[in-house]
Chain A
Amino acid sequence: MPKQIHLAAHFPGVNNTTVWSDPEAGSHIEFSSFVKLAQTAERAKFDFFFLAEGLRLREQGGQIYDLDVVGRPDTFTVLAALAAVTTHLGLAGTINSTFNEPYEVARQFASLDHLSDGRAAWNVVTSWDAFTGENFRRGGFLAEQDRYSRATQFLETAKELFASVPAPEDFLRDPAAGTFAHKDDHFDIAGRFNVPRSPQGRPVILQAGDSDAGREFAAATADAIFSRHGTLAEGQAFYADVKGRLPRYGRERDELLVLPAATFVLGDTENEAQEKARIVRRQQVSGATAIKFLEQLWNRDLSSYDPDGPLPSVDPDVSDNHIARGRASVRMHRDPIAVATEWRARAEAEKLSIRELIIEVTGRQNFIGTPDSVATSINELVQADASDGFILVPHVTPGGLDEFAGKVVPLLQERGVFRTDYEGPTLRDHLGLRVPE
């Protein structure tokens, strides 16, 4: 039997992948949008629905960034409500380990797991910046180098709480059930965890770090890891790397799934799909957006530049970042001057304007083609161990998954690489993961 593919639906995010100007684009806040995407994913037998989170609105040049979707609901609350309108779909959300406490988060996930009959998943993220900290009691208390140690101990503590409790009736009958005491560098807590054991034992743990520390954290603790490596070569390298770290923790290869995020554009012919993809890219990168992207590398105000003109001749400002705050991709360029030089050379050689250049160098769609060719590509990547499946990111809310669900999923099912129905009720069942002791 060929390797089975896992698929998840990412609710479109607050970044320029999401095309809010599309005439079909709906609300990012009204519950009906979440219902629509989740029910589409469940009809297509997806493994889970995924909701990201950011705890401060992004800013650029000292002002709230206004060109992308802004605003999102509370992760836990939406997932709990979605449990009422779905029956099998996993419900995954990002929850930060820096601006929360283990007892509270463990209660919320155990509650969600009960209220969804075993469908909860937690994407554990860390942040450390004082910018986000300004929204919280403790401020920016955590040094960047301590974020993984806090995240690791946060998760270990939560797992201890999940493991400390028996099933509901035993919990009610035994006043001593659920008692715990935990002390480490970050947490010193004791008492009784007050949510009885949930259907999955604990939520499925997801992790998205790409750094060496992030990969190690995932290998040690996660059930699945997100990645940005959706191509064959990069995917295989990442896959081999993280799976290779598992034996160190006494874990088997199938105990950590690798699930890259992926975008897609479908057409009736290859040419039509390519043409649609080109249009989507232009929607995603407007002239104004291109200037903002350029500012993030240049670390300067470039608002006077014409997006249809050439790149700035001035070099990036390599002092501390003061342009863009609160976004994950900020300053991922470790050597801005070298990147700028490379971009200028490319723009000159290919006669690209600022906007055209940004369209070329920022994220392209992963899968572009007919339903048949996209199904083939996805399956080849999974069978070649470049991934165990994909987190699909539609670019239109909430209907952006409809075409994939209606046209690509049946082809994967025909080829025997994707389920035609759910085999069990819990997310662990869908992902082939054991219930922890």
Chain B
Amino acid sequence: MAQPLHLAVALDGAGWHPAAWRTAEARPAELFTAGYWADLVREAESGTLDFVTIEDSFGREARLDAVLIAARVAPLTSRIGLVPTATVTHTEPFHISKALATLDYVSTGRAGWRVQLSARPEEAAHFGRRAVPGIQEHFDEAADFVEVVRRLWDSWEDDAEIRDAATGRFIDREKLHYIDFDGKYFSVKGPSITPRPPQGQPPVTALAHADIPYAFATGSADLVYVTPAGVDDARQIVAKVSSLPHVFADLVVFLEDSEQAARDAKARLDELAGSPYTSDASIFTGTPSQLADLLLTWQEAGLTGFRLRPGRLPADLEAITRGLVPELRQRGAFRKEYEASTLRGLLGLTRPANRYRQEAPVA
């Protein structure tokens, strides 16, 4: 019997293939409606997936704000984790912290965060505040950003709200904490305006392809997405990030009933795009059963799960939930129903203690 896998799906536009929106089945006008996103996330939830990520960027590609998409679908779903991308380069840690804490409230404990750095000059020009920093400095700043977000999440102890009628106090201010972060790139006083989120610390995730980002991920995240070329490569990468509770491999997937049909489907899209699709992640074309074989082989490298990037939406998402998931369940490698109601719970992470909590002194 295989070890159970964790499975996530990365949602982006009409799918990860740049020509996906041009196909006959695509409905490009609907990409910016709530109904489109709600349908996708409900489909993912029907397959008991751990979570969905939602791509975002300040670049030129058309996208809605990912945190707001996640918030919009939260009340329409009940179990699946919601992990929007939020960029740290041009934004305020104070805003991102309370936005994700609030996503955790509106989803009753299902929020996560995919941390993204923005290195493109075109994105910097949309803000006009700064040049793109050097890579080491950029990741150092990102680590400070995540530290501030995490401190702000802890800046209220869980029982800070007391509503004590006798003294007229709504909060016990001894249980609110200034975070007093004073770093090289910015300083933030705190506390947050938003109380500690239901999960305490929503899971922080990051995509990494090289040593500097691996170090960032192991220092700042709970889960890292990596892009191995094969099982041996996966083993080498896992060794570098093994201190993390979760290492997921990213794969772009085109799924059909036969291997040939999957290849043909991708080739048709390549033709529409005018060039073959390439990706930072490995590209899989084949049947759900073949994909199950591959995932279970790669799992032996020490991966705890996979984040699948559907080449086409909703087609490849449906092939995951209706083809791959039953296949994995049959092999005892994937849950048959949700076993927890929070994202941390699904990932087997306990609710962390608050860093500012001081235990009462023993008399």
Contacts and interface: CB of A to CB of B under 8 A. Distances in A.
Interface of A: 20-21, 29-31, 35, 54-57, 63-64, 66-74, 76-78, 80-81, 83-85, 99-101, 103-104, 107-108, 110-112, 114-117, 134-137, 139, 167-169, 171-172, 175, 178, 187-192, 194-196, 286, 288-289
Contacts of A114: 32-34, 64
Contacts of A178: 60
B28 A78 contact: no
B268 to A, nearest CB: 19
A30 B34 CA distance: 23
B119 to A, nearest CB: 15
A77 B68 contact: yes
A73 B170 contact: no
B102 A189 contact: no
B64 A191 contact: no
Given A80-B72, A188-B128, A135 B94 contact: yes
Interface string B25-61: 0001101111001100000000000000000011111
A134 B169 CA distance: 25
Contacts of A137: 92, 185-186
Nearest to A286: B168
A55 B99 CA distance: 12
B190 A135 contact: yes
B159 to A, nearest CB: 13
B189 interface: yes
Interface stretch (B191-199, B258-266, B299-307, B334-342): B191-199
A64 B156 CA distance: 12
B59 to A, nearest CB: 7
B298 to A, nearest CB: 34
B94 A168 contact: no
Given A73-B194, A107-B65, A169-B29, 16 more contacts: A20-B163, A55-B94, A70-B161, A72-B193, A81-B74, A101-B127, A101-B129, A104-B127, A111-B64, A114-B64, A115-B33, A115-B37, A115-B64, A134-B189, A191-B122, A194-B60
Given A70-B170, A135-B188, A189-B125, A57 B33 contact: no
A78 B106 contact: yes
B352 interface: no
A78 B105 CA distance: 9
Contacts of B194: 29, 71-74
Contacts of B32: 114, 168, 195-196
Contacts of B193: 54-57, 71-72
A64 B127 contact: no
24 contacts: A20-B170, A29-B194, A64-B173, A64-B191, A68-B170, A71-B193, A83-B34, A84-B72, A84-B75, A103-B126, A104-B90, A108-B65, A112-B65, A115-B37, A137-B92, A169-B29, A171-B62, A172-B28, A172-B31, A189-B125, A189-B127, A194-B58, A194-B59, A195-B63
A23 to B, nearest CB: 10
A196 B101 contact: no
A101 B170 contact: no
Interface residues of B, number: 69
Contact of A81 (B75, B123, B171): B75
Contact of A195 (B34, B64, B172): B64
Contacts of A81: 71-72, 74-75, 106
B309 interface: no
B34 A84 contact: yes
Contacts of A31: 75, 105-106, 108
Contact of B62 (A73, A116, A195): A195
Contacts of A169: 28-29
Contacts, number: 201
Interface string B10-33: 000000000001000000110111
Contacts of A74: 95, 98-99, 101-102, 194
Contacts of A54: 193
A35 B62 CA distance: 30
Contacts of A55: 94, 193
Nearest to A108: B65
B76 interface: yes
Nearest to B195: A71
A78 B33 CA distance: 18
B169 A29 contact: no
B68 A99 contact: no
A327 to B, nearest CB: 13
A66 B171 contact: yes
A31 B327 CA distance: 37
A116 B167 CA distance: 42
Nearest to A85: B75
A190 B123 CA distance: 9
Contacts of B128: 187-190
Nearest to A165: B62
Contacts of B129: 101
B62 A136 contact: no
B129 to A, nearest CB: 7
Contact of A21 (B28, B73, B106, B165): B165
B238 interface: no
Interface in B135-167: 156, 161, 163, 165, 167
B317 interface: no
A66 B163 contact: no
B249 to A, nearest CB: 29
* Leading 6 A-B pairs by shortest Cβ distance: A80-B71, A134-B189, A77-B102, A111-B65, A81-B106, A74-B102
Nearest to A104: B91
A72 B187 CA distance: 22
A14 B68 CA distance: 24
Interface string B101-121: 111011010000000000000
Nearest to B156: A71
A286 B167 CA distance: 10
A191 B128 CA distance: 10
A190 B125 contact: yes
Given A111-B65, A195-B62, A84 B74 contact: yes
Nearest to A53: B193
A80 B68 contact: yes
A220 B215 CA distance: 51
Contacts of B252: none
A73 B105 contact: yes
A43 to B, nearest CB: 17
A172 B195 contact: no
Nearest to B97: A74
A35 B74 CA distance: 13
A196 B62 contact: yes
B176 interface: yes
Contacts of B37: 115
Contacts of A80: 67-69, 71-72
B61 A194 contact: yes
Contacts of A66: 169-173
Nearest to A136: B92
A322 B127 CA distance: 35
Nearest to B96: A74
Contacts of B74: 81, 84
